[in-house]
Amino acid sequence: MQRNQTKSQTMWSRSLPGVAAAVVFFLSTMALPAAAAVVEHTFVVSQMNMTHMCKEMLVTVVNGQLPGPTIEVTEGDSVAVHVVNKSPYNITIHWHGVKQRRNCWADGVPMITQRPILPNHNFTYRFNITGQEGTLWWHAHVSYLRGTLHGAFIIRPRHGSSPYPFPKPHREIPIIIGEWWAMDLTKAERDLTYYLADDDPSASTINGKLGDLYNCSGVAEDGYVLDVEPGKTYLLRVINAALFSEYYLKIAGHKFTVVAADANYVSPYTTDVIAIAPGETLDALVVADVAPGRYYMVASPNQAPKPDPQHPVFVTRATVQYNNKHNHSNNGDVPVAPEMPYQHDTMTSFYFHSNLTGLRHSQRPPVPAQVDERLFITLGLGSVCRKGDSCVRGDSNDSITVATMNNVSFQLPAATTPLLEAHYYNTSSMDDMLQELPGRPPMAFNFTDRALIPTGPKELRLEPTSKATVARRFRHGAVVEVVFQSTALWQSDSNPMHMHGHDMFVLARGLGNYDAARDVDRYNLVDPPLKNTVLTPRVGWVAVRFVADNPGVWFVHCHFDFHLTMGMAAVFIVEDGPTQDTSLPPPPTDYLTCGHNLVPDEFYLRSTKTEVPDKSGV
Ligand SMILES: *[C@@H]1O[C@H](CO)[C@@H](O)[C@H](O)[C@H]1NC(C)=O
Ligand SMILES: *[C@@H]1O[C@H](CO)[C@@H](O)[C@H](O)[C@H]1NC(C)=O
Ligand SMILES: *[C@@H]1O[C@H](CO)[C@@H](O)[C@H](O)[C@H]1NC(C)=O
Ligand SMILES: *[C@@H]1O[C@H](CO)[C@@H](O)[C@H](O)[C@H]1NC(C)=O
Ligand SMILES: *[C@@H]1O[C@H](CO)[C@@H](O)[C@H](O)[C@H]1NC(C)=O
Ligand SMILES: *[C@@H]1O[C@H](CO)[C@@H](O)[C@H](O)[C@H]1NC(C)=O
Ligand SMILES: *[C@@H]1O[C@H](CO)[C@@H](O)[C@H](O)[C@H]1NC(C)=O
Ligand SMILES: *[C@@H]1O[C@H](CO)[C@@H](O)[C@H](O)[C@H]1NC(C)=O
Ligand SMILES: *[C@@H]1O[C@H](CO)[C@@H](O)[C@H](O)[C@H]1NC(C)=O
Ligand SMILES: *[C@@H]1O[C@H](CO)[C@@H](O)[C@H](O)[C@H]1NC(C)=O
Ligand SMILES: *[C@@H]1O[C@H](CO)[C@@H](O)[C@H](O)[C@H]1NC(C)=O
Ligand SMILES: [Cu+2]
């Protein structure tokens, strides 16, 4: 059934007469090379007062903007971002989806790839953009603070007069879906980490604006307005920067043609609704082809139905406004509103994501046929005792709720040296810090049994778990297949799994428990989409494949911030290859050292040791 759907879907894309098929384009190497530029930005991270819904809040932002500045580059450019940290927090910035080939040093994950930038300190991120085009984004990789420290990262093609595999749009517009938190984000994070408290945002936003569903003393909040001209085509670069929710996005009366996801082209897919999980990006064309007027663009979150814990649902709306020079009579009209999917409708997301296929083009890498290593990773919740090994579990305050991959919850090592640095300098103590991420769950159970959602005997048996710095090592060039399986353990959320440094081919997805005997036949090895963030459906699974060919220490984690904060994460260590071209170069000269100004004697000393650690296992 599923297989047939995939097949017909493939044929449907192939026979689509329209946009992509007709346009010949070249991702690189053809046409005249334009000179590569160095794109330079200064990001001043500081706190600022903002007022929404009658409440003033101190928020941490870049350059006084929320969302932060957009970075626009052309493929092949070099980027230098000078971060000036005037906030009271330790900060790092992650360039979400930028592959950072042989440049893991600039990936921006605190204590994994670098020391954080301390308050009143600076750091410059330098990296090159090669072989990627489309929409990505940047965000602080400091748990909840990314809620206000984020912005769009746009990569335009380098070559050709018709650079896109679709007609050149009239305008390109970032659409950043976010959340407004009327509370201190660091407090929300502490509440989740140490207490049972589970805070919620106060509103959702489009391009930082709450829109007219929110008010202060009856006066509606500003909403984002997109002015369009009749007949013109717009490229929306949609980013979900929210901490907590997957969103549906619709524009009343209009359709989207999705042309790219996570800065990889997809076969044009026309739909009236977009589903986008935290960490995902989508490029979608919208034609202003209906009766001139005003139309709401609405973003509404979805959530698992009861017995999953329920959270308030915050909907936000912007306006698409036809700018008809000769006719202003529409401006006073009440905008037309779209009908949104129900908050508990998670199937619309399942179908949306399942319907994406990669666009075939000359520069697209083939799907590797031979698999060197297979991992099956369950995603769920568990608990650890506050003290000792035994305690009251369930909703008790004796235990702390954590999130796991194969029944281990990730914790940062206590060491003061980032893992990448320890790895690069062959620090022997690294092996003591790490525990191998199991390749399979330790125990087989009916992963998607809904009876596991409410706490009770069935759930309590599976709930105990442990914390460790889990890692998995891969030989350079290894082809790795991962099946992520969402479980119904204590909750049945979906899990947008983000991998740093690599894109993944999304071979198949399904509901229920993954069954290799049945599901391998469903793999799309022809034109699967390539993604850096793969939505594992709730009570379902997704199978991905990637080539571990980018040496370094890469964070792999759920992009729901509550899951990440609770430990749904691991690191993938990709070993150096045999040549200099396949090895990680030394850290940049201005790489942050201990205390930022001190000479890090401690690691130089260690790097001179003669003993070579066994790297075959973790
Ligand atoms: C924010 O406002 C408070 C008073 O409401 C003021 O004391 C504080 O200095 C302001 N902070 C900034 C960064 O503007
Ligand atoms: C910031 O990082 C430094 C060094 O890693 C650490 O000692 C300090 O506790 C951190 N501060 C906060 C507020 O997390
Ligand atoms: C950080 O950069 C700012 C702006 O360029 C500069 O004024 C300041 O002196 C720098 N601070 C440090 C600690 O280097
Ligand atoms: C970026 O590309 C330039 C030119 O090829 C090269 O010199 C530089 O080392 C690269 N930088 C990084 C961080 O990879
Ligand atoms: C928004 O408006 C409603 C009804 O007009 C009112 O009950 C509510 O208090 C207002 N919200 C704020 C924050 O003023
Ligand atoms: C202006 O818009 C109104 C409402 O859509 C329409 O009835 C009217 O014909 C338009 N006038 C012109 C000159 O286009
Ligand atoms: C694609 O979407 C349609 C309409 O929502 C749905 O009926 C179909 O099953 C989806 N295809 C796949 C492969 O999920
Ligand atoms: C749980 O324990 C923490 C710290 O011991 C306490 O602050 C909190 O109020 C407790 N919560 C509940 C619901 O008992
Ligand atoms: C780390 O060990 C490898 C051999 O295992 C060696 O090639 C490399 O030079 C060492 N790196 C450093 C920085 O000492
Ligand atoms: C697993 O649980 C689901 C949902 O409760 C149920 O439909 C299914 O039959 C169970 N599967 C097995 C193998 O027990
Ligand atoms: C996880 O491991 C613990 C033992 O450390 C065990 O009690 C528990 O049942 C396991 N849970 C799952 C989901 O495998
Ligand atoms: Cu998750």
418 lines ligand 2 (CB under 6 A): no
* 109 CA distance to ligand 5 middle (Å): 40
122 lines ligand 3 (CB under 6 A): yes
Q: How is residue 608 written in tokens?
A: 């001179």
Closest atom, ligand 11, to C-alpha of 378: 13
User: Residue 36's pLDDT is what?
Assistant: 85
Q: What residue owns the CA closest to ligand 4's atom 12?
A: 127
In one-letter notation, the amino acid at residue 150 is H
Mapped onto helix, strand or coil, the DSSP state of residue 430 is helix
Residues 93 and 141 sit within 8 Å (Cβ to Cβ): yes
Protein residues near ligand 12, an ion, with CB under 5 A: 495, 558, 560, 563, 568
* 448 CA distance to ligand 9 middle (Å): 44
Q: How confident is the model at residue 194 (pLDDT cuts 50, 70, 90)?
A: confident
* 463 CA distance to ligand 11 middle (Å): 6
Task: Give the helix ranges, DSSP H, for 337-480.
Answer: 347-354, 419-424, 430-433, 457-462
Average pLDDT, the chain: 89
Task: Give the helix ranges, DSSP H, for 99-156.
Answer: none
Q: How is residue 595 written in tokens?
A: 């205390």
Q: How is residue 584 written in tokens?
A: 């990680």
Phi, psi of 432, rounded to the nearest 5 degrees: -75, -25
Q: What residue owns the CA closest to ligand 10's atom 1?
A: 449
* 354 CA distance to ligand 7 middle (Å): 7
User: Residue 22's pLDDT is what?
Assistant: 32
Q: Is the pLDDT of residue 130 over 80?
A: yes
* 45 CA distance to ligand 1 middle (Å): 16
Q: How confident is the model at residue 327 (pLDDT cuts 50, 70, 90)?
A: low
C-alpha atoms less than 13 angstroms from C-alpha of 271 in its C-beta half-sphere: 22
In one-letter notation, the amino acid at residue 61 is V
Q: Is the pLDDT of residue 19 over 50?
A: no
In one-letter notation, the amino acid at residue 579 is T
124 lines ligand 4 (CB under 6 A): no
489 alpha carbon, closest ligand: 11
Report how far residue 370's alpha carbon sits from residue 355's, in angstroms, rounded to the nearest whole number: 25
Closest atom, ligand 5, to C-alpha of 55: 13
User: Residue 28's pLDDT is what?
Assistant: 41
100 lines ligand 4 (CB under 6 A): no
CATH class of 1-9+164-361: mainly beta
What Å distances lie between residue 415 and 104, 115, 218, 561, CA to CA? 19, 11, 52, 24
465 lines ligand 11 (CB under 6 A): yes
Q: From 77, 128, 130, 590, give the residue whose CB has the most ligand 4 atoms within 8 Å, as the site to mutate.
A: 128
Mean pLDDT of the 605-613 span: 32
Q: Which residues make beta-bridge pairs with 49?
A: 58
Residues comprising the chain, all counted:
618
- Which CATH code is given to the segment(s) 37-162+588-618? 2.60.40.420
Q: Residue 595, by phi and psi: left (phi above 0), alpha (psi -120 to 50) or beta?
A: left
Which segment, 186-195, 315-324, 481-490, is predicted with the most confidence on average?
Answer: 481-490
For residue 248, give the nearest of 275, 269, 271, 282 by alpha carbon: 275
Q: Is domain 373-581 in CATH 2.40.110.10, yes or no?
A: no
Q: How confident is the model at residue 12 (pLDDT cuts 50, 70, 90)?
A: very low
Q: What residue owns the CA closest to ligand 4's atom 10?
A: 128
Q: What residue owns the CA closest to ligand 7's atom 11?
A: 355
Mean pLDDT of the 129-140 span: 97
Closest atom, ligand 4, to C-alpha of 78: 1
Q: Is the pLDDT of residue 613 over 90?
A: no
Q: What residue owns the CA closest to ligand 1's atom 6?
A: 49
* 377 CA distance to ligand 11 middle (Å): 14
User: Residue 280's pLDDT is what?
Assistant: 98
Closest atom, ligand 2, to C-alpha of 88: 13
- Binding pocket residue ranges, ligand 9, CB within 6 Å: 424-426, 607, 612
Torsion sign over Cα 339, 343, 345, 346:
positive
Report how far residue 315's alpha carbon sits from residue 214's, in angstroms, rounded to the nearest whole number: 9
The answer to whether the 1-9+164-361 and 373-581 domains have the same CATH topology is: yes
Tens-digit pLDDT profile for residues 51-81: 999 999 999 999 999 999 999 999 999 999 9
* 337 CA distance to ligand 7 middle (Å): 24
User: Residue 31's pLDDT is what?
Assistant: 44
Q: Is the pLDDT of residue 430 over 90?
A: no
Q: What residue owns the CA closest to ligand 1's atom 8?
A: 49
Closest atom, ligand 5, to C-alpha of 214: 1
Report how far residue 371's alpha carbon sits from residue 508's, in angstroms, rounded to the nearest whole number: 15
Element (H, E) at 173: strand 171-180
Torsion on CA atoms 132, 241, 95, 62, rounded to nearest 10: 130
Mean pLDDT of the 497-511 span: 98
User: Residue 24's pLDDT is what?
Assistant: 36
Q: Residue 245, by phi and psi: left (phi above 0), alpha (psi -120 to 50) or beta?
A: beta
Q: How confident is the model at residue 328 (pLDDT cuts 50, 70, 90)?
A: low
Mapped onto helix, strand or coil, the DSSP state of residue 353 is helix
Q: How confident is the model at residue 467 (pLDDT cuts 50, 70, 90)?
A: very high
Tens-digit pLDDT profile for residues 91-121: 999 999 999 999 999 999 999 999 999 999 9
- Binding pocket residue ranges, ligand 6, CB within 6 Å: 326-327, 329-330
User: Residue 187's pLDDT is what?
Assistant: 86
The burial class, CB within 10 Å (0-12 / 13-18 / 19+), for 53 is middle
Q: What residue owns the CA closest to ligand 6's atom 14?
A: 327
What residue spans define the domains of the chain?
Answer: 1-9+164-361, 37-162+588-618, 373-581
Q: How confident is the model at residue 595 (pLDDT cuts 50, 70, 90)?
A: low
Q: How confident is the model at residue 3 (pLDDT cuts 50, 70, 90)?
A: very low
Q: From 38, 78, 102, 126, give the residue whose CB has the most ligand 4 atoms within 8 Å, as the site to mutate.
A: 78
**Cis amide linkage into residue 116, ω under 30° from 0:** no
Q: Is the pLDDT of residue 564 over 50?
A: yes
Q: What residue owns the CA closest to ligand 11's atom 8?
A: 462
> Taking the chain, what is the end-to-end CA distance rounded to the nearest angstrom?
41
User: Residue 361's pLDDT is what?
Assistant: 87
Report how far residue 7's alpha carbon sits from residue 420's, in angstroms, rounded to the nearest whole number: 42
116 alpha carbon, closest ligand: 2
* 558 CA distance to ligand 1 middle (Å): 34
50 lines ligand 1 (CB under 6 A): no
Q: What is the pTM of this model?
A: 0.91
| % the chain with pLDDT above 70 | 88
More confident residue, 34 or 376: 376
Q: What residue owns the CA closest to ligand 4's atom 6?
A: 128
Q: From 122, 590, 596, give the residue whose CB has the most ligand 3 atoms within 8 Å, as the site to mutate.
A: 122
Q: How is residue 62 written in tokens?
A: 């870049």
Mean pLDDT of the 243-256 span: 97
User: Residue 33's pLDDT is what?
Assistant: 52
Q: How is residue 465 written in tokens?
A: 């778990």
Tokens 């009440």, residue?
Answer: 334
How does strand 294-301 pair with strand 247-251?
A: antiparallel
Q: Is the pLDDT of residue 126 over 90?
A: yes
